[in-house]
Structure 1
Amino acid sequence: MSKSLNIALLQTELFWEQPEKNRIHISNAIKELRPEVDLLLLPEMFTTGFTMSPENIDAIEGSRTLDWMRELATAKQLAISGSIVFNEKGKYYNRLFFVEPSKVSIYDKRHTFTLAGESDVYTAGKAKTIIDFKGFKICPLICYDLRFPVWSRNVEHYDLLIYVANWPKTRINAWDVLLKARAIENMSYCIGVNRIGIDKIGHEYPGHSAVYDALGKEVLFSNKPEICYVTLDKKHIKTTRRKLKFLEDQDKFNLEE
């Protein structure tokens, strides 16, 4: 069991609805990725930007991107995660893949963003995904999920909560505050990976990718295009929860559709 986890966050601009161009761009951006990295995190819809026209994306592109992720994971011996537009049997999903060299886990975005019409074109997910990776239990979520604390409530005793996002500048204060809040209330590391730049419909994204520890202390913050690196310490989680047994006092509840 690993005592630490080395993570890289790619905060980058994206090319609108151009999966192949984005795959090439990301491949080039991570050529000099540090060899000790265990997990590479990419933004939400990293092959297209936050498009509400998934019909513009060839249905085969989802499989192509998944194959590319598998090849990258195998070549660099790491895990890679981010969400993409995925067409499955004629239904569109904002689907996160967590790809290891010999295993693939998925999570479909639960809270589709009604303000942008995402709920009209993408099928919402129904289940959380908890991933065991190198001694860490990881809960990956997507963007708008951040606003709904019940969905992220740490009933599984995960160690790391991840949000991949296209979160705009106009509401970035909420992003900053809620990431920190999710870390504190769940007594886990919390990572947010946002994109940067301006998309085709004029939305500006300022980055603000960040990492918070289980006490809400800022470990990392960035507002420029770059690869950010962070090492998470499993001892921090164990020591904090042993000393402050707040999770033992949380309310019991069941989610209903």
Structure 2
Amino acid sequence: MQNQLNIAVMQSNLVWENPEQNKINFTQKIESISEPIDLIVLPEMFTTGFTMNAVEVAETMNGKTVSWMRRIASKNNTAIVGSVIILENNMFYNRLLFVHPNGTIEQYDKRHTFTLAGEHKTYSAGTNTLIVNYNGWKICPLICYDLRFPVWARNTKNYDVLIYVANWPKVRIDAWDTLLKARAIENMSYCVGVNRVGLDANNHEYSGHSAVYDVIGNRLDSIALGKEAIAIITLDKSHVETYRNKLGFLNDRDEFTLKQTQ
């Protein structure tokens, strides 16, 4: 078990529907990190931007992006997480991949497809949450629009870290800021939100606002707004344990179950 977890938050612009260039850009950014890192967090659809043109840019689990993530994880002895467009069984998924340093992959398909943008017309929704056990930490990774649905993220499995990877537009960024902090407080967990910056081909502007909150809602980062940035944040397991033992709020949570397809 590892008491501290060093997370690299990659707030980046994305080249529209250009997986190869995006991988080159992220490789350069990752190579610029000189500190020891346990986990690299990339935005949602980090190889393409938030596109509905899945037919042209989707990959398979045997494709180049999955291979790239495995190489990055192995070379840097770190885990890496982000979402990509995956074609599987003739269906498209906005799929989050958590790649361990040894190459093991755990996956989560976005549950709440963004109907306002027609995501539900292109991508199949996932049905199960994911809890990753990594270096003694329990991590729950989710995707963008999932942030608006607290029941889906409710901490019934005692995870330590909640992660959201996103393409969250500037026009609704106040909701992003508010809900990230709320998820940390209500679940008594660290909450890490990684959003992109820049302008996409649909003329949607993204202002970043990536952030890391502790279990009582204190912000731990000082990531610049609207600019590309790499932030290294250290999470401490004793912080989670101390406040949960002291306050005991999770002991009073409501009991409920979600119907999930196995």
TM-score between the two structures when normalised by the length of structure 1: 0.98
Superposition RMSD in Å? 1.2
Q: Output aligned runs, 1:43-192, within 5 Å.
A: 43-57=43-57, 59-60=59-60, 63-102=63-102, 103-192=104-193
Q: CA deviation at 1:101?
A: 2.1
Pairs aligned (count): 257
Q: Distance in 2 between matches of 1:97 and 1:113?
A: 19
Deviations 1:39-87 (A, max 9, x none): 0000000000000110121545872100000011000100000000111
1:210, 1:221 → 2: CA distance?
8
Question: Which residue of 1 is the match for residue 31 of structure 2?
Answer: 31
**CA deviation after TM superposition for structure 1 residue 110, in Å:** 0.4
Unaligned runs of 5+ in 2: none
Q: Secondary structure at the match of 2:212?
A: strand
Seen in structure 2, the aligned counterparts of structure 1 residues 173 and 151 have a Cα distance that, compared at 3 Å, is: same
Asked if 1:218 is matched to 2:219, the reply is yes
The aligned residue for residue 229 of structure 1 is: 232
Q: String of CA shifts for 1:72-116, please: whole Å, max 9, x gaps.
A: 100010000000011112110000000012211101000000000
**Identity value in percent:** 55
Mapped to 2, the partners of 1:256 and 1:79 lie a distance apart of 30
The CA distance in 2 between the partners of 1:183 and 1:64, in whole Å, is 34
The alignment partner of 2:31 has SS state of coil
Report the secondary structure of 1:34's partner residue. coil
Q: Please list every run of 5 or more consecutive structure 1 residues that lacks an aligned counterpart in the other structure.
A: none
- Which residue pairs with 1:199 in the alignment? 200
- Specify the code of the residue in structure 1 equivalent to 2:254: D
Using the TM superposition, give the Cα deviation of residue 34 of structure 1 relative to its aligned residue in structure 2, in angstroms. 2.7
Q: 1:180 to 1:126 in 2, by over 3 A?
A: same
The reply to whether residue 245 of structure 1 matches residue 248 of structure 2 is yes
Distance 2:56 2:34 in 1: 35
Letter in 1 for 2:34: R
- Give CA deviations for 1:125-163 in whole Å, capped at 9, x if unaligned: 000000011111000000000000000000000000000
CA distance in 1, matches of 2:179, 2:34: 30
4+ residue runs of structure 1 moved beyond 6 angstroms?
A: none
Q: Measured at CA, do residues 248 and 98 of structure 1 come closer, stay the same or move farther in structure 2, by a change above 3 Å? A: same
Residue 15 in 1 paired to residue 15 in 2?
yes
